[in-house]
Amino acid sequence: MSVLKFSRGTVVAFKAMERYSRGQNRLARQEIRKVLANKPTPQDYAVAARVYAEDWRMGWFDGFEDGMSPIGNSKHFAKLAQKEGAKDWFVQWMYAYAVKFRARWKGWGEMGLADAAYQRAVNLLENLCGLPTGGDAISRQHYLDVLIDRAESWVYQDRADAAAAEIARAMALYSLEKDPTKKPGLEPWYYWAYGFALHQQDRHVEACNTLEPLLAAKDANNDVRLLLALCYARRALNGEAGMKQKAADTIAEFHKRREAMSLGVSADQEPRWTVQLELGCGAFLPGSPGEAHWRESLRLVLEEGKPPPSPDQAPKLGMRKAQPPVAPSPASRKPAEGPAAKKAGAKKAAAKKTGAKMKGARTGAKKKSAARSPARKTAKKKAARKGRRR
């Protein structure tokens, strides 16, 4: 079994982070820094990398600390995790996730590092658990998480056809398994990733058929709404009746849910999601055909907006030193406890690049899903991913 072992504080940080809201991600950063100051494990460092990756992916940009940007901190902690836990599949997965979202700004070689780390994670899981044929339900779930997150990264590399084929293959691996102790579930963010790959191939009707059932869930991921709005808008361009209104209604609900996530706390206000935020916080290679296709779709439903700040310079304040951890105020705790927080969901409402994470953690997702959560601690800990997210 591919058991994950986190420090107590890391579990608190992880649970906060997977809510994919600005206030909860701030709490996650505070909690994980306490852990990192006291004999952290490689997996603790790996979760820290994920927390900072989501700060960038979601467009919050609160994690400019220690002279680094959020994606700089993300890679820093991912490298520390690798240094001490190179044979840990979760460490390799989080390293891949961290550097994937640096590639757009720091050079396409980062995406090559991500590819290699994804493959190492796959190899380690296969060797550890006898996968794909062996393993219990938890190990197989981890295996699907890594396979599908890796395939999602191929979409950003203009390999949407290969990504769709691989995601379909992965989801079918255990479809005939009858033993409940060996049968993994199919997470909602898997379908989001598949829909993302279909969209990039202009298979918009198939994408809509894949994504629409996900809206029936109480915690339906807001990334689903964004992607659905794009697909509806593309279908409207092809002359399909009713699609323009569907796109307008879906993107309106997307923004409405994001605005509700702060629950009236000004410090937790979500940024208005725009074309430039989606592109700049994502993982497409600038100037690539995939980026051009994604931009064309985004412009059908989103405002253009301004590009995000460069990772080399914190917005307005310059590079900040890390602040000492502080206990969250009652006001910052309250949003996580109220029923409205549960309805808000991940990133832009709930997929995950995460479960994303899904630039995702990206579109992502993290990305990238879960919302996508980066892992399953044990049977008690369910990974909700990349999706990432908005």
8-308 has which CATH code? 1.25.40.10
Question: What is this structure's pTM?
Answer: 0.83
- Residue 325 tokens read as 């951890």
pLDDT band at 312 (very low <50, low <70, confident <90, very high): confident
C-alpha closest to that of 238 among 250, 225, 247, 249: 247
d(CA 367, CA 359): 3
Residue 356 has pLDDT above 70, yes or no: no
* Closest C-alpha to 149, from 354, 348, 295, 381: 354
Mean pLDDT computed over 36-45? 94
pLDDT of the residue at 316: 53
Give tens-digit pLDDT for 177-193: 999 999 999 999 999 99
3-state secondary structure 262-277: CCCCHHHCCCCCCHHH
Render pLDDT for 51-109 as a digit per residue (tens, 0 to 9).
Answer: 999 999 999 999 999 889 999 999 999 999 999 999 999 999 999 999 999 999 999 99
Q: According to the model, what pLDDT value does residue 360 have? A: 33
Task: Report how far residue 390's alpha carbon sits from residue 380's, in angstroms, rounded to the nearest whole number.
Answer: 26
Half-sphere exposure (Cβ direction) of 305: Cα atoms closer than 13 Å = 21
The percentage of residues in the chain with a pLDDT greater than 70, rounded to a whole number, is 80
Q: What is the mean pLDDT of residues 217-239?
A: 95
Which whole number is the average pLDDT over 311-315?
Answer: 74
194-207 pLDDT, tens per residue?
999 999 999 999 99
Cis peptide before 271 (omega within 30 of 0): no
- If one counts every other C-beta atom within 10 angstroms of the C-beta of residue 267, the result is 12
Q: What is the pLDDT of residue 132?
A: 97
Give the residue ranges of DSSP H helices in the chain.
8-17, 22-36, 42-57, 70-85, 89-100, 103-106, 109-129, 137-155, 160-172, 188-199, 204-211, 222-237, 243-260, 275-280, 289-298, 330-337, 339-344
* Phi and psi torsions of 164, nearest 5°: -60, -40
Alpha-carbon distance of 233 to 374, in angstroms, equals: 31
pLDDT category of residue 256 using cuts at 50, 70 and 90: very high
- Lowest pLDDT segment from 3-7, 183-187, 314-318: 314-318
What burial class does residue 219 get, using C-beta atoms within 10 Å of its C-beta: 0-12 exposed, 13-18 middle, 19+ buried? middle
Query: Which sequence spans correspond to the domains of the chain?
Result: 8-308
Structure tokens at 109: 């070689």
Q: Are 154 and 193 in contact (CB under 8 A)?
A: no
Q: Which residues pair with 68 in a beta bridge?
A: 65
pLDDT surpassing 60 at residue 275: yes
The whole-angstrom distance between residue 93's C-alpha and the CA centroid of its chain comes to 13
